[in-house]
């Protein structure tokens, strides 16, 4: 991977080609490798390495970006020229701020735990194959068929601009996803971490296999409102649909379900949510798409939405808006995306608070007279943006609970549920863990026991 000094030298080469008022350069260097398996055999190994250089130029309120992966002198000159040509034909944006200087960028950057692990970066195809071997051994023991992936990556990312701002972050990531297939059932587990040594392929396989075995010969029960026990992956994929609404630009555009609701009791009093890039179970860089340090922001306090996140430009616009007194504290929080963009900002390091009396999933099951245990959800889509009603289906381990015991597997359900209603009816939560799903980014979330969850239709599998 390139060093920070090497990246800075590349930036100096870029700047000499530009005649713009301001220049910003984002550099990404990634190495990705993946082993894919199905039918209990490995069928694909791949590896990819790429360097991307993204240049934003600005002329008197007009800005544009161009990106290349050609980093010779000709390639760099061409990407600068492309950015400048695009910028010059834009309409001037009266809200565009000057690029941040080194002082503005550095004063709020927080110290985070190291997220680069040599063991993860050095994971070879042979080592990934050994992890697959342990997964397949579990599948064959239970006469199941395993499919999934084992992957690892290494990333370096930096943002540099003409006003002296200079940021740099390196990180590794590893991921294991397992689906166990039986004749009429399936089980699933997935986990990701910067440190591959925290992942246990064999343990994940055992859990996925147990779910597939216990879900065999699924039965059908009528749709309706049930107490539901959502494992962390299911919680993550549901709540992930609401966090882009916590950005200031979403409020200004009136496309957020939080419009006219900041400061109100929206969820249950047991719901506390932070955005915290420095949390030990989180991942990602300590700065945003403009190089501003990511602050810890207490978004929801005892069920009340207290704060939003802001990019620099959005905060300035919000302070001039008619709703400036209705959205809580307004300041840049380091949650913006690279400019120009139409999204603005969003919290990307979500952490749920620990409830006073956390329960395990087994304890939630034991306290449920009649309900449904859900391993994961998929094919989730938004139905009503303001009430945050989403629909989707259960998958890979859905179980009927009666009298405090898991009785049998169930045919999967389609659901229609408001996330506002769901988070207002959480009866119990577990200890938050780092969770991975398929519909949203990784978060630190708990399992949840929720009353009156609305299942609308039974599927045929």
Q: Phi then psi for 195, rounded to 5 degrees?
A: -110, 110
Question: Which of 145, 179, 207 is the last residue before a domain boundary?
Answer: 207
Question: Which of 170, 186, 207 is the last residue before a domain boundary?
Answer: 207
Same domain, 203 and 225: no
Coil, strand, or helix at residue 210? Answer: helix
DSSP string, 91-106: PP-TTPPPPP-HHHHH
Same domain, 320 and 450: yes
Same domain, 363 and 442: yes
Same domain, 312 and 350: yes
Same domain, 132 and 254: no
Same domain, 183 and 309: no
Is the whole model's pTM more than 0.75, yes or no? yes
6 contact partners, CB below 8 Å, separation of at least 6: none
Does 400 map to a domain? yes
Same domain, 156 and 229: no
Separation CA 229–CA 451 (nearest Å): 9
For residue 17, the enclosing domain spans 4-207
Same domain, 97 and 136: yes
Same domain, 269 and 321: yes
Does 212 map to a domain? no
Give the 3-state secondary structure percentages of the chain, helix then strand then coil, rounded to 5: 25, 40, 40
pLDDT in tens, 131-142: 999 999 999 999
265 contact partners, CB below 8 Å, separation of at least 6: 303, 304
Handedness of CA 144, 149, 152, 158 (dihedral sign): negative
From the first residue on, what is the mean pLDDT of each consecutive set of 10 residues in the chain (461 residues)?
Answer: 86 94 97 98 97 97 97 96 98 96 83 95 97 98 98 97 95 98 97 98 98 97 98 98 98 97 97 97 96 97 98 98 97 97 97 96 98 97 97 97 98 98 98 96 97 94 79
Same domain, 39 and 60: yes
Same domain, 296 and 404: yes
pLDDT of residue 330: 98
| Number of domains the chain is built from | 2
pLDDT of residue 461: 79
Does 296 map to a domain? yes
Question: Which of 159, 181, 207 is the last residue before a domain boundary?
Answer: 207
Does 213 map to a domain? no
Same domain, 110 and 242: no
Q: Phi then psi for 214, rounded to 5 degrees?
A: -75, -20
CATH number, domain at 51?
3.30.2290.10
């Amino acid at each position: 991977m390139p060093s920070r000094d090497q990246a800075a030298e590349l930036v100096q080469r870029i700047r000499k080609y530009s005649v713009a008022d301001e220049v910003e350069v984002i550099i990404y260097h990634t190495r990705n490798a993946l082993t894919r398996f199905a039918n209990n055999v490995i069928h694909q190994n791949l590896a990819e390495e790429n360097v991307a250089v993204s240049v934003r130029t600005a002329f008197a309120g007009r800005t544009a970006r161009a990106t290349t992966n050609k980093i010779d002198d000709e390639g760099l000159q061409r990407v600068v020229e492309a950015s400048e040509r695009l910028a010059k034909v834009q309409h001037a944006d009266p809200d565009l701020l000057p690029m941040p200087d080194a002082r503005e960028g550095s004063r709020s950057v927080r110290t985070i735990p190291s997220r680069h692990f040599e063991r993860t970066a050095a994971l070879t195809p042979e080592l990934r194959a050994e992890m697959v071997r342990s997964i397949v051994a579990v599948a064959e023991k239970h006469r199941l068929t395993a499919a999934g992936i084992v992957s690892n990556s290494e990333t370096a990312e930096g943002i540099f601009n003409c006003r002296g701002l200079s940021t740099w972050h390196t990180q590794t990531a590893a991921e294991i996803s397992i689906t166990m297939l039986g004749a009429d059932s399936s089980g699933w587990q997935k986990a990701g971490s910067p440190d591959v040594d925290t992942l246990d392929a064999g343990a994940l396989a055992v859990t996925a296999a147990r779910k597939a075995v216990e879900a065999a010969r699924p039965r059908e029960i009528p749709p309706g409102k049930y107490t539901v026990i959502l494992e962390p992956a299911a919680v993550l994929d549901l709540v992930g649909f609401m966090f882009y609404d916590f950005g200031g630009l979403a409020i200004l555009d009136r496309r957020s379900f939080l419009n006219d609701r900041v400061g109100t009791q929206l969820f249950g009093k047991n719901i506390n949510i932070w955005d915290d890039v420095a949390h030990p179970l989180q991942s990602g860089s300590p700065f945003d798409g403009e190089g501003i340090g990511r602050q810890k922001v207490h978004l929801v306090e005892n069920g009340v939405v207290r704060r939003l996140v802001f990019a620099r430009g959005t905060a300035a616009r919000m302070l001039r808006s008619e709703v400036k007194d209705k959205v809580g504290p307004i300041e840049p929080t380091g949650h913006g995306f690279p400019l120009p963009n139409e999204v603005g900002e969003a919290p990307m390091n979500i952490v749920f608070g620990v409830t006073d009396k956390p329960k395990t999933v087994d304890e939630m099951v034991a306290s449920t007279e009649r309900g449904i245990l859900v391993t994961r959800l998929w094919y989730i889509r938004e139905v009503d943006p303001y009430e945050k009603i989403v629909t989707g289906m259960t998958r890979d381990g859905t179980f009927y609970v009666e009298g405090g015991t898991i009785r049998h597997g169930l045919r999967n359900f389609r659901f229609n549920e408001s996330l506002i209603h769901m988070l207002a009816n959480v009866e119990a939560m577990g200890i938050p863990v780092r969770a991975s799903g398929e519909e949203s980014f990784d978060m630190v979330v708990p399992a949840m026991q929720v009353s009156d969850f609305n299942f609308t239709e039974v599927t045929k599998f």
